[in-house]
Amino acid sequence: QVQLVESGGGLVQAGGSLRLSCAASGGTFSRLVMAWFRQAPGKDREFVAGITQNGATTSYGDSVKGRFRISRDNAKTTVYLQMSVLKPEDTAVYYCSAAYTNWGQLPNEYLFWGQGTQVTVSS
């Protein structure tokens, strides 16, 4: 069983930056595909970014391309999401997720989930 704990959320003004972290335990981190999703009130859970097991390949949702960057440190069993040029529409609960399978952009492709961290961007 893999446990995921997110941190780094908070309140930031539009145009600002935040870095989210997700610490993993209980599994073989280097074998896990990792991803970030987000969910705003009344909306479906949305793919934000994903990264392969060795960090060589990343993927981003269209709404965050060029502004967000996902990375991982396998030695620290942690994945990061660097968010820049934040917009009010980025306001959501951000979830870290993991899977031992090939990566994808659908929530049901990920077995393990964190509790989420709130990101609020004020205008």
What is the pairing mode between strands 117-122 and 10-13? parallel
Residue 102: per-residue pLDDT? 73
Task: Determine contact, residues 48/94, Cβ cutoff 8 Å.
Answer: yes
pLDDT number for residue 47: 98
Q: What is the pLDDT along the chain (123 residues), one digit of tens a residue?
A: 999 999 999 999 999 999 999 999 998 999 999 999 999 999 999 999 999 999 999 999 999 999 999 999 999 999 999 999 999 999 999 999 999 987 789 999 999 999 999 999 999
Whether the CB-CB separation of 20 and 9 falls below 8 Å is answered with yes
* Closest by CA position to 68, among listed 80, 78, 56, 53: 80
